[in-house]
Structure formats: structure tokens, C-alpha cells
Amino acid sequence: MSSVRLTGALLFLPIPVVLALYLRRPLGLAPSIVLGVGIMVSHRFVARPFMDRWLSRRCYWCGRDRLAMDNAAWLFKVPVASAVVALSFLWPLGRRTDAPPSIDFPPHNLALLGVRNTLWIFRIVGLIWLGQAVLAGARAISG
């Protein structure tokens, strides 16, 4: 791993830390939120200059050096589409519960439209992206 990629990975670590501080509140409500806000504010002054410095030499989607943008977009879209389509069909197989979900993903995103409707959107968009990937691959093979 290049030093630039390693630095990018290290600069990413505040994101899960802040999520844990906000959602789990390990230090209590006020200290966790104050520390989370402090990390967010300071993170911008380090991460943004890093991005500005390396953006022209690195792929914005995957972080690789000198990857064509079209290829980088597919490296992002295909795994995301595969995951959301698969999970949207597997979700109903999970056990039902009356308790609120204990996950770090904000459940309000699913509650805005309802889980069923959100999963249908995931399915449709994911299947479109996978179809586009197949077409792009077929065009690349046929030259």
C-alpha cells in the first residue's frame, strides 16, 4: 500500500469514531457529542487539503493511482449494486421484531419511505446499475 493510500485510510478513521460517539455515546451524552463535533470540525482542516492535493492523481471513487474515471465508477457501482439488490431480497427473510433496530445505520433513512418501499428503490436502482455494467462490459469486450 502506498503512503498516500495509507494516509487516506488513516484520515478515514475519524468517520466511524464520530459515528460511534454519536450513536453509542460511550462518554455520556454531552462529552460524546462535544468530542464528535470537535473531531468533525478538525477533520475537515486535514482531510480536505489532502483530497485537494491528491485528487488529480488519484481516483475519486476507489482511491487508486491513475485509474480511468469510467473504470473507477464501475468499481464503485457494481459492488454497491450487488449488495443492495441481494440485501433487498434477503431482508424479508430476517426475523420480525417489535423493538427498534440496534444498528449503527440510521434507521430513519428506512422509515422515511418505509422499509418495503426503500428496498424496492434499492432493487430498481441496483438492477439498473448491474444492467449498465453488463452492457459496458459487453462493449469493452466487443471493442
Whole-number average pLDDT of the chain:
81
pLDDT band at 108 (very low <50, low <70, confident <90, very high): low
pLDDT of residue 116: 77
What is the average per-residue pLDDT within 39-45?
A: 92
Q: Return the higher-pLDDT residue of 112 and 134.
A: 134
pLDDT of residue 21: 93
Cell 469510467 locates to 70
pLDDT of residue 74: 79
Cβ neighbourhood burial of 71 (10 Å; 0-12, 13-18, 19+): middle
- pTM given for the model: 0.48
pLDDT of residue 75: 75
The string of pLDDT tens digits covering residues 57-98 is 777 666 767 766 677 777 778 888 898 888 888 876 666 667
DSSP string, 14-76: HHHHHHHHHHH-TT-HHHHHHHHHHHHHHHHHHHHHHHHHHTTTB-TTT--BT--HHHHHHHH
Instruction: Quote the distance between the C-alpha of residue 116 and its chain's center.
Output: 21
What is the average per-residue pLDDT within 17-21?
A: 91
Q: Answer whether residue 101 shows pLDDT above 70.
A: no
